[in-house]
Structure 1
Amino acid sequence: MRYKIIIDSCGELLDEWKKDECFESIPLTLMVGAEQIIDDETFDQAEFINKVAACPECPKSACPSPERYMRAYDCEAEHIYAVTLSSELSGSYNSALLGRDLIMEDHPDKKIHVFNSRSASIGESLIGMKIQECEEAGMSFEEVVSTVEHYIEGQHTFFILENLDTLRKNGRLSKVKALVASALKIKPVMGSTDDGNICQLDQARGMNRALIKLVEQVIEKTPDSAEKVLAISHCNCPARAQVLKEAFEERMKLAKIVVLDTAGVSSMYANDGGVIVAV
């Protein structure tokens, strides 16, 4: 095996990756009240959404341990890459780095690089796709790292949430702002900053208008899009994701559009009805 790509479970895996030994998902742990849910292939999105809705407490997540990353690194692959959600949002990146440092004490010749996605969800998936593309093109380990780090610098992530409770309860949005937005049916169009934090890009009254604003933001921030892959992930709203896909097909030239359902951590933040776009 020439390479291995490890993605924490905030990133969605393509169907073909789930059967490919070159890919491994490292699960975070989700907590709803006193219950702990492992974000792996057993995750049930519908059941999780119902549990979150019924629980008065805010759902939380815990990052994988360095030891869990070490087990993933302990393989025969010549080149090993880890992709984690933004270091500004989780400890997963630092855990992956520590796991790398620990295993390299005994295996100093291993080639391991940890990518801070500065994103989440489908943004991580796109980075995994880029790594695979570079490896399949025969690039050296150093060339892959340089190319993908440059790709991450130019990547943008956008999202709209139907429900702002999880962001508010986790301190990502003020209580007053969340209440006003809910009362007036205002949907903020959110995005990632260059360092991987969350910011508001725009807003609109009603979901349909917000989706239009999101499309406009993506177009504005994606020059020379013809060779780029755009990805959409959604939490229990395939029709909404399809509307977005058709809008992008109509208004942008893109190499490819990928649509995936959110995994566990992404479902926790996106909540029922949320959509995420990365390009």
Structure 2
Amino acid sequence: MGVPVVIVTDSSSRLPASLMSKYGILQVPLHVALDDGTEYLEGVDDIPTDVVSTPNVTTSGASLADLRSAYERALEISDGDGVVAVHMSRRLSGTWSAARLASDALDGEVRVVDSRSVGVSLGLTTMAAVQAAQAGGERDDVYEAAVRAGATAESLLCVQNLDNLRHSGRLSATGHILGSALSIKPILHMADGVLALRERHRTMTKAISKMVDTIVELADGEPVTVGVQHCQNPALASEVLDSVVSRLDDVPSTLTVDLGQVLGTHVGPGAVGVALAHGLDPITF
């Protein structure tokens, strides 16, 4: 028997390097471009932290060439056991479409999952695939495990201001709040693969409190893995994690990540969010 099914994801999953190394997860970079023509590969290049608040920055998904290269490497490593690629929502990026093209070019040997999410929620869905592979699942079993995880995940996000959302073309259902006072603090959620408005509040404190309440309700007393994500706001992320975990009965493990420059460009500095994943075993680093 060869190594377990190899898992590939993209850099929007925000998985720590320690996890990727331990489980042999391959990561394909997303792109950040400045208006002077400078382009960076997330997870490969040293990207300035102030990119998330720099005007006229654009982002793009993983390239077809990079995806195919990663898939070819994964197929070689798998030694016949197969490859499953878990990527960000097809409705947020061209990454999934490019991934399908790359898979087709390899005779469909790679199963491509639309996680219906992004950020730490994608990371947790990727870990569901990893755990299924580690348990000895065959390629199609691992694919189904990732699909189930993506379909049952919950993800909420609070942002500090609307500037980045105002300039983002990848966020839905926000138009009717963009003309509101800048003090409005929206709670966003993943809905059918799109980041959409769920609620809006007058202060960040109220938005965070409501987000925590909602996450606890969504957990519904079941065992859940909690993921917290933030954009350059580790202190608030730590407070949110403590608040959520203190109110839940069974949390096998937690994962806290920075959103990085690609996602940070769209949500802006200060954003913080929480994701829930059902059915995961404890994540060990």
Q: TM-score range by the shorter chain?
A: 0.7 to 0.9
Q: Does 1:46 pair with 2:44?
A: no
Structure 1 residues 153-232: aligned runs within 5 Å: 153-171=151-169, 172=171, 177-182=177-182, 185-193=183-191, 195-226=192-223, 228-232=224-228
Q: Does 1:252 pair with 2:248?
A: yes
Q: Does 1:12 pair with 2:8?
A: no
Change (3 A) 1:158 1:181: farther
| 2:231 aligned partner, one-letter code | C
Tell me the CA shift for residue 61 of structure 1.
Answer: 1.2
Change (3 A) 1:82 1:186: same
Change (3 A) 1:174 1:192: closer
Find the partner of 1:241 among 237, 240, 243. 237
Query: d(CA) in 2 for partners of 1:174 and 1:198?
Result: 9
Q: Does 1:100 pair with 2:103?
A: yes
Query: d(CA) in 1 for partners of 2:14 and 2:97?
Result: 20
Change (3 A) 1:256 1:21: closer
Change (3 A) 1:93 1:167: same
Which residue is 1:270 aligned to? 267
Query: d(CA) in 1 for partners of 2:221 and 2:111?
Result: 28
Secondary structure, aligned partner of 2:127: helix
Query: d(CA) in 2 for partners of 1:21 and 1:179?
Result: 46
Change (3 A) 1:175 1:128: closer
Query: d(CA) in 1 for partners of 2:43 and 2:125?
Result: 20
Output one character per residue of 1:111-170: Cα deviation in whole Å (capped at 9) or x when no partner.
x21111111111111011111111111222222222221121111111011122222112
Query: d(CA) in 2 for partners of 1:248 and 1:199?
Result: 22
CA contact (8 A) 2:117 2:193 kept: yes
TM-score, reference length from structure 1: 0.88
Structure 1 residues 54-73: aligned runs within 5 Å: 55=55, 57=56, 59-73=57-71
Output one character per residue of 1:196-244: Cα deviation in whole Å (capped at 9) or x when no partner.
0122112221111110111112122222432x21101111111100110
TM-score, reference length from structure 2: 0.86
| 1:30 aligned partner, one-letter code | V
Q: How many residues align?
A: 265
Query: d(CA) in 2 for partners of 1:164 and 1:117?
Result: 26
| Alignment gaps of 5+ in structure 1 | none
| Alignment gaps of 5+ in structure 2 | 277-285
Tell me the CA shift for residue 174 of structure 1.
Answer: 5.3
Secondary structure, aligned partner of 2:200: strand
RMSD: 1.9
Q: Identify the range of structure 1 (28-37 vs 81-90) with the bigger mean alpha-carbon deviation.
A: 28-37
